[in-house]
Amino acid sequence: MPELPEVEVVRAGLDPAVSGATVVGVSAWDERALTRYDGTAADFERVLTGRVLHGAARRGKFLWIPLAPAAGESQPAHALLAHLGMSGQLLLRTPGAPAERHERIRLEIQHPQHGELAVVFADQRTFGSLTVDPLTSTPDAAPGGLGTDQPLVPEQVAHIARDPLDPAFRDDRFREALRRKESAIKRVLLDQTVISGIGNIYADEALWRTRLHPETESRALSTRTVNRLLSEIRAVLHQALAEGGTSFDAQYVNVNGQAGYFAHSLNAYGRTGLPCPRCGRAIVRVSFMNRSSHYCPHCQRFRSTSVAGTLTGFAEKRRDGNSRNDTQSSAG
């Protein structure tokens, strides 16, 4: 599934093409691409046609394009919201370009500088979707996400936490959230209500860089370790952005259909059995939440930090010691 870097690459490519453009036509070929929309395909086409688009914004893995305020509105009230799912693509095409393979929806737009363009939503597995969603105020009065200065976010995204590249992301609140979590750190990194935009790939990579075992208890991490983890998360996301994201196949592409090449820079994810770039030991893969975790068992050693774990370890050492004493007594 596309993660923050892949979605941000799409947002950055889409933004200049849609900002200030007018939707002159909509063709919703497949209603499976409207599963988040409360209406028919014909209604979706009607609502969007004639609307002026603002620049593209993103929070985590969600991307939206605010619709310019309608008559009588002081600020945008709705947005075209996109979730790419597992294989969704938003592509820019010339007017009249042939239909894309797996094309579900097409928007014909007229831009003041770029002229006519087509925004195509294609999705092989049909888990992605488009919708028109009401905008709601952000609780912290900060912009809704990257790419917008409006303190507004689509209602369907309001429960999603800010992502670590968002200027309004609060490191202190993330540290506080970890202190309240008994869960493994990787599970927390995948929880989009705590920190958004991170999926399996970048969680494994950030944990490898921080030398943290994915099962390390979140609340046991020191402030220094959490700060380092956040730093490594941002570093790996920025590197992935610079390299166009991670593309393992033709599904993860930018608006021009080009694949990213961060897959060549991965240190842990997808490298089962290959040598760890740091110590040379083999990377292992274990089952985790219906997917897999990839890590180096030498560099990322699991250390039990719970009180129960410490007491258990003490009891085992004491039992072993008593056993040795009993053996020595018997021998004497």
Catalytic residues, by residue number, are 2-3, 61, 291
Polymer length of the chain: 332
Residue 164: name the closest of 309, 288, 8, 329 by CA. Answer: 8
CA 130 to CA 4: how far, in whole Å?
18
The answer on whether 125 is annotated among ligand-binding residues is yes
Which tokens sit at 198?
């991170």
8 Å CB contact between 37 and 131: yes
Looking up tokens 């208890």, which residue turns up? Answer: 217
The answer on whether 324 is annotated among ligand-binding residues is no
The answer on whether 181 is annotated among ligand-binding residues is yes
- Three-state SS at 326: helix
Please give the angle made by the CA atoms of 279, 288 and 274, to the nearest 5 degrees. Answer: 30
**How far, CA to CA in Å, does 195 sit from each of 60, 201, 239?**
8, 15, 19
Binding residues: 102, 125, 181
Residues of the binding site for DNA = 102, 125, 181
